[in-house]
Amino acid sequence: MLTALTLLTLTAAPCAEPPLVATPIKDGDEANRVLREHYVKHEYRIPMRDGVKLYTVAYVPRVQTRRWPVLLLRTPYGVTHGVDNYPDVKTPRVLARFVLSPAALQDGFIFVHQDVRGRLLSEGTFVDVRPRAPKGGTDEATDAFDTVDFLVKHLPANNGHVGVWGVSYPGFYAAQAAIDAHPAVKAVSPQAPVTDWYLGDDFHHNGALFLFDAFGFFSSFGKPRPEPTRKQSWGFAWTEGDAYEFFLKLGPLSEVNRLHFKGEIAFWNDVLAHPNRDAFWKARDPRPHYVSQGPAVLTVGGLYDAEDLWGAVETYKAFQAQSPKADVRLVLGPWRHGGWARTDGDKLGDVSFGWKTSKHYQDTVELPFFRRYLKGCAEPAPFEAYVFESGTNLFTAHDVWPPKGARGTPVYFGPSQRLTSQPPKDAQASDDWLSDPNKPVPYRSKWSLENEGEYMVEDQRFAARRPDVLVYQTPPLEEDVALAGPVEVDVFFSTSSTDADVVVKLIDVSPYDRETPEGAGVRLAGMQQLVRAEVFRGRFRESFEKPTAFTPDEPARVRFTLPDVSHTWRPGHRLMVQVQSSWFPLVDRNPQRFVDPAKATEADFVKATHRLWRDARRPSRVVLPVLRGKLPTSSP
């Protein structure tokens, strides 16, 4: 699997300074012991420019004869409070990622963790995805600046160089630290960063509410904190054994407050009050502000991240386009949300990648990046984009992402459930299905109360067998076909009602006549492995700001983009596309009437006949970013 042509070298980069711990640290238990023996913990309450104090802890090497760089993590999820308390090696918290990393501990850094404004022991008022403040105000960029300014002036034995990192929500705070950055900030690494909660991350995709995620997260995270506290509670008392049944019985969105939240979850109320992309959501899109005048930026994401894949790619794009003088990079691996920090990265669900991709990333990309910019060490093989290609199961370095060599290749929906490279010639042709909001298509086959990331690669045969899912596929491929980049959807769609969702799924179908060997990728014969999927709320086909109803039975053009893919379909496999209009309870049920979903009643949920048009005047298609290979040619 590991070849010199595609993978960065595994050799450690040379550095003038010796490591803090000479003997290699073998495992997590030993890392915990080294942390306690070789680092001393400090507590601070760091004042911001408006007087609010943020609770901060620092783990400083006991060796005071050298100067150490700082790795800062700002988080809303809580740090290990108390000067005598150290992170537990068994903790699932991502914030323990570096302080218990054998390589990072051995190398020697000052590790700093901070409760962000308004969370746990920090003072102030917490604001979700806090907008950029007018000049003279405070925001997450100014809080990061003030924090760094305090650290470089007060932390013992620091060398004046700071790196900022974080996964998920902490990734958002890491990216904010690059905006008007403190001169001491030399490198930031937003990892799976929360970005735009309306267009593509976490709680909305293209205007459609990701119900399961939003409800599950804010039922705990959104509870008010009347005063600073060391404690936070997580969990929800489900009344059903399966999320599909729970949310179906729950009914319209208005029932959430009546039955569960009681109006006490402020951000949930904001979500319901702002169904369109208005000023509220635009202020919470950080991308226009992602300009780095100095710090290097390493954005990291998982190709199978069910929460923030879109945010990782969009954060990279924003910094890359707006920071011409900065070193801006992207890493995408075969990981679920935060998988590079919490798993071996060798498999996900029924899909095996054959080797431990997370350790490879940590040892050859992440740590060398921080060593270069915080310690001045040499770095092996700098790159701009380092992306895993599932199917072949190798990382590849690219000059830019998406690769310049990827060519947009249209594939059309044809008769007899075929995908074809030839535009349709029929004067009139379409496929239809009956969509019933009371029997929505499930997003996965497994019964669960946990939104597990495995659904991102789950076998889609359960959906293909439903009458409300359209299925199209190519003949078996004769050669490798590699896709790299975003997938464009361009379909002509009509409904017998006034609103509808469009869900498009890109799938790799394994041959039935053989099983792929263990460790080489897909293992199940005939498996319809999900590669990528996305939803689009049809009312926003013309504008996210001003929704438009469908005219019943009148075709309308619907265009949107599936998040980036990096996958190779092997010879003998088929490329499949499924089209449906519900994806429940991942996505809330569209009433299929042009009403505000937050105000919809049971009577507003109606059955509707949806139709995908595929004729000469209305050639529905997907445009695939083909990097290598050629799709088979067949007549429509």
Q: Where on the phi/psi map is residue 626: left (φ > 0), alpha (ψ -120 to 50), or beta?
A: beta
pLDDT attached to residue 184 = 98
**362: which residues sit within 8 A by CB, 6+ positions away?**
101, 103, 340
Q: Which has more confidence, 62 or 380?
A: 62
Looking at the DSSP assignment, which residues form a beta bridge with residue 522? 351
Name the strand (E) or helix (H) holding 564.
strand 556-569
Q: Which domains are delineated in the chain?
A: 28-195+286-398 (3.40.50.1820), 204-282 (1.10.3020.10), 407-628 (2.60.120.260)
Q: Which residues of 435-463 are buried (b: 16+ CB within 10 A; e: fewer)?
A: bbbeebbbbbeeeebebebbbbbbbbeeb
- Measured CA to CA, the distance from residue 343 to residue 337 in angstroms comes to 10
- Measured CA to CA, the distance from residue 457 to residue 446 in angstroms comes to 13
Quick check: 246 pLDDT over 70?
A: yes
**405: which residues sit within 8 A by CB, 6+ positions away?**
627
Contact 135, 158 (CB under 8 A): no
Quick check: 45 pLDDT over 90?
A: yes
Closest CA to 313 of 525, 50, 625, 11: 625
| The pair of three-digit structure tokens given for residue 295, joined into one six-digit string | 């710090």
Q: Which has more confidence, 487 or 30?
A: 487
Q: What is the pLDDT of residues 560-574, one digit of tens each?
A: 999 999 999 999 999
Quick check: 518 pLDDT over 50?
A: no
Average pLDDT across the chain, whole number: 93
Query: What is the C-alpha R_g of the chain?
Result: 25
Quick check: 222 pLDDT over 50?
A: yes
Please give the average per-residue pLDDT across 577-588, as a whole number: 98
pLDDT attached to residue 93 = 58
**527: which residues sit within 8 A by CB, 6+ positions away?**
350, 459, 461, 509, 510
Q: What is the pLDDT of residues 465-512, one digit of tens each?
A: 999 999 999 999 999 999 999 999 999 999 999 999 999 999 999 998
Instruction: Check residue 364 and report its DSSP letter.
Output: I
**Residue 105 half-sphere exposure toward CB, CA atoms < 13 A:** 26
| The pair of three-digit structure tokens given for residue 392, joined into one six-digit string | 């072949």
- Please give the model's pTM, rounded to 2 decimal places: 0.95
Q: Which has more confidence, 380 or 280?
A: 280
Contact 533, 305 (CB under 8 A): no
- Measured CA to CA, the distance from residue 492 to residue 261 in angstroms comes to 39
- Amino acid occupying residue 518: E
Please give the average per-residue pLDDT across 390-409, as a whole number: 96
Weakest-pLDDT range from 10-14, 109-113, 310-314, 475-479:
10-14
Please give the average per-residue pLDDT across 164-185, as a whole number: 97
Give the position of tokens 């990981």.
335
pLDDT attached to residue 191 = 98
- Most confident by average pLDDT, 3-12, 115-124, 378-387, 509-518: 115-124
DSSP string for 301-360 = EETT-TTTHHHHHHHHHHHHHH-TTS-EEEEEES-STTHHHHS--SEETTEE-SS-HHHH
**418: which residues sit within 8 A by CB, 6+ positions away?**
472, 473, 474, 634, 636
Looking at the DSSP assignment, which residues form a beta bridge with residue 419? 413
pLDDT attached to residue 337 = 96
- Measured CA to CA, the distance from residue 294 to residue 272 in angstroms comes to 39
Quick check: 524 pLDDT over 90?
A: no
Quick check: 52 pLDDT over 90?
A: yes
- Measured CA to CA, the distance from residue 553 to residue 207 in angstroms comes to 23
Contact 304, 348 (CB under 8 A): yes
pLDDT attached to residue 94 = 47
Residue 133 sits at φ, ψ, to 5 deg, of -90, 155
Instruction: Check residue 221 and report its DSSP letter.
Output: H
For residue 64, the SS3 value is coil
- Measured CA to CA, the distance from residue 9 to residue 590 in angstroms comes to 49
